[in-house]
Chains A and B, each alone.
Chain A
Amino acid sequence: MITVDEKKMEWHQGMTIRDVLDKVENVRFCAAVRLNGKLVSSPSFETTLIPDNAVIYILPLIAGG
């Protein structure tokens, strides 16, 4: 089980960030997430594996400085 924006989600072996985002609505403008406190950016969404019990926050649209 993992936590995505403080909601529980089933975990499976080989799960990636992209897999998670595919299950969440309205994430068109997601360019980065925090996975267990560390930033992961969109170019790595397909290749970043999520460990079980991970805590993920979907960051808002990047707004610049």
Chain B
Amino acid sequence: MADFTLKEIKTLEYVRPEIEKGYTDHSLHIDISSADIRINPVDKMVKEKFIGGKGYDLWFMWNSVTGKTRWNDPENAICIASGPLGGTPGYPGGGKSIVTTISPLTGIPIDSNVGGYFGPYIKFAGFDVLELTGKSDKELVVLVDGIESKIRIYEVSGLTDDSYELSMKLTDYFDKDKPVNISVVSTGSAAKHTELGCLNFTWFDAKRKRVRYKQAGRGGIGTVFAHKNIKAVVARWGTVSMKINNPADLEAMKTVTKLHAGEINTLDPKQNRMALVGTTHLVPIMNDHDCLPVNNFKYGQHPEAHNIGEAVYEHIFDKGFDGCWRGCAVACSHGVKDFVPFTGPYKGKKVFVDGPEYETVAGCGSNLGIFDPFFILEMNFYCDTYGLDTISIGTGIAFVMECFEMGLITREHTGGMDLSFGNRLNSLELLHQMARGEGFGVTVGKGIRKMKAIFARDFGADAAIMQDIGMESKGLEFSEYMTKESLAQQGGYGMALKGPQHDEAWLIFLDMVHNFMPTFENKAEALHWFPMFRTWFGLCGLCKLPWNDIVPEDNRQNPEPAKVMKHVGWYADFFSSITGRKVSPDDLIPMSEAVYNFQRLFNLKMGYGTREHDTLPYRSVGPVTVDEYLSRTERYDKDLTDNYNVDITGMEVSDKVAVLRKHRESRYEQLKDAVYKRRGWTENGIPTVETVKRLGIDFPDVMALLKTHGVE
């Protein structure tokens, strides 16, 4: 007997649109305010230009919001879509969902690419995209039931906020006999009290008989979800086979699936071993190359980092298949069984932790000056349970810790808490406060940009130094890579459309370690090709890891091994086989370019999207403090003398810091010029009329928007 109540307030029986060549060609719109449910055909133009996934999300959002819409306005939409290739069982990384909304942190569209079964199940239920708008007075659960062809909206009472428990209860409620038929999207209690809320997407792990999680983490999508008073959205679907997407050429699809999956099964054990250790192999590698963030990105290395890398987590992770989509050969979504938290409401109880991945290890570990793998597990567990983004939490708390150590904030402001680097208990206490909606945790939960304003206004903290050390751009917290020595990655973060997340471009090693792109033009070319190709995964419902984390044995003989062109060829074949739209590798970049530029224009529509918003905190560019300079004196001295022809004889360190800053900041501005030019943008970072016409996104409202900004 369920200990919660669902009261059905709306049911729509529908004729399920069949999938044809990867598409249902229908969209589902639910207005939470009125419980209005609409099913619409997707226009042919939208299909051709926006492809699917993030492209569809952005198109429908564009038409739902105005330039004045803010995250907490009812018209703000949460869109979830897979893509034409999404839901193919056995294709590595073939089951992603892409989620977008107007972010509470940035005011512009945020997008997040997430595993779990939800996106594929929604498509199988008949919809290429789900759009949720409105705001309800009462907590609601939405069920999209593809088996019974019904959409049901319920008022819910008595259902816990804790995401694990909530997901398990709803899975049990909606299909007790076949829980694998259910995927639940939900957030948690902290999403109600912070702007860092994430969404948890489930799949049912049949072997372990429990729900598992992946997160649409970035940008506070969970906060928007909670604000709309949506408790959960549930998708239900049954049988999944290779024919599910009704591909144009089934045999060709099977062939390319077998090739890619076979290669990963053969080579992953010899390469990054992601099926065993996930992305935790990156921890020691980043540390060894001075790229692991330590103490709020102040340093890139720590002697205890080996305690939180693959060598440890390999032995902690529960053994077994950990694919977040059916039959994925990468299977990197590891977890820990029978972990016992030492704080909070689950103190002393055995729980399952989904994770950690590299980002959580670095953000909630090294960046806080903490090298305890079990502490990181507890942070991971409570972030998931409370519906919080581990990256923004890690980077946000790291900022607070540095402010505390610099005396910018004191115990008087933190409610008596010592928030020095390394303080494990108080880091966890901040999470519990966010979940309860009380104390200093609520302030931290507003994100770095708002914290900087609050600390300056209410506590008298130095705004300039906080601007330098607060690791946010566009309002979004940085993900967990040190970029001081890679100009290309500074661009990868600073010019990323949604803010500093690495999924657009990860160029640190090509640039810093291998010196593969010495000129501005080289870097600009990379900052064109890589963001465009990575965008393509989000259009199609795919994960990027199988592209370049496991590579062919002969890949290093390729003159540009970073592009892994053999796999790009497979992706073109995969796309052709399902959609029937014959494409070559060269065709994939222009597909993304249209959506990429549209998203940049969307930023412009929302009042951003120009050069001044592609800025970086200096901590990501060079040493802010004398301490930082002294920690890498040889490197910075060499930079001054060899690259900028500065005579440093007799110079004070503080003067060196200032001179280096002037040069490095100037270099970043030059990079912006080169990248904007390569992308076909004005010097102010706006797509030109020629660019939007070339890409076929010269819609009347786009042209009017450009004209408003003097681009004609």
Contact = CB atoms under 8 A, between A and B. Distances in A.
A1 interface: no
B510 A60 contact: no
B562 A29 contact: yes
Nearest to B503: A65
A54 B606 CA distance: 58
A1 to B, nearest CB: 19
Contact of B358 (A5, A44, A61, A65): A65
B288 A42 contact: yes
B62 to A, nearest CB: 29
Interface size class of B (residues with CB under 8 A): 35 or more
Given A28-B514, A29-B556, A31-B513, A62 B285 contact: yes
Interface string B354-369: 0001110000000000
Contacts of A29: 509-510, 514, 516, 556, 561-562
Interface stretch (B223-231, B237-245, B276-284, B636-644): B276-284
B411 interface: no
B288 A65 contact: no
Interface string B142-172: 0000000000000000000000000000000
Complex A-B, nearest 10 residue pairs according to Cβ-Cβ distance, in ascending order: A64-B506, A41-B288, A63-B548, A26-B556, A60-B551, A62-B509, A57-B270, A26-B557, A32-B285, A65-B358
A5 to B, nearest CB: 7
B272 interface: yes
A64 B481 contact: yes
A3 B481 CA distance: 33
Instruction: Name which of A25, A39, A43, A62 has the most chain B CB atoms within 10 A of its CB.
Output: A62
B504 to A, nearest CB: 11
Given A26-B556, A27-B556, A61 B562 contact: yes
Contacts, number: 88
A6 B556 CA distance: 16
Contact of A61 (B282, B357, B502, B510): B510
Contacts of B78: none
A59 interface: yes
Interface string B481-495: 100000000000000
A38 interface: yes
Nearest to A62: B509
B506 A61 contact: no
A59 B272 CA distance: 7
Interface residues of A, number: 26
B289 A43 contact: yes
A65 B557 contact: no
Given A41-B285, A41-B288, A64-B506, 11 more contacts: A28-B514, A31-B509, A41-B284, A41-B289, A57-B271, A59-B272, A60-B550, A60-B555, A61-B514, A62-B282, A63-B548
A38 B502 contact: no
Interface string B278-317: 0101101100110000000000000000000011000000
Contacts of A42: 288-289, 513
Contacts of A5: 270, 553
B561 A63 contact: no
B479 interface: yes
B506 A59 contact: no
A58 B555 CA distance: 12
Contacts of B468: none
Given A61-B551, A65-B357, A38 B311 contact: yes
Contact of B514 (A31, A59, A65): A31
Contacts of B311: 38-39
10 contacts: A32-B285, A39-B281, A42-B288, A44-B288, A60-B561, A61-B548, A62-B285, A63-B548, A65-B359, A65-B506
B549 interface: yes
Given A60-B555, A61-B551, A65-B357, A31 B285 contact: yes
A30 B557 CA distance: 12
Nearest to A41: B288
A63 to B, nearest CB: 4
Contacts of A30: 556
A39 B310 contact: yes
Contacts of B557: 25-26
Q: Which of A32, A38, A60 has the most CB of B within 10 A?
A: A60
B381 to A, nearest CB: 20
A39 B555 contact: no
A60 B271 contact: yes
A64 B310 CA distance: 15
Contacts of B503: 65
B535 to A, nearest CB: 16
Interface in B230-272: 270-272
Contacts of B551: 60-61
Interface in A3-45: 5-6, 25-32, 34, 38-39, 41-44
A29 B510 CA distance: 8
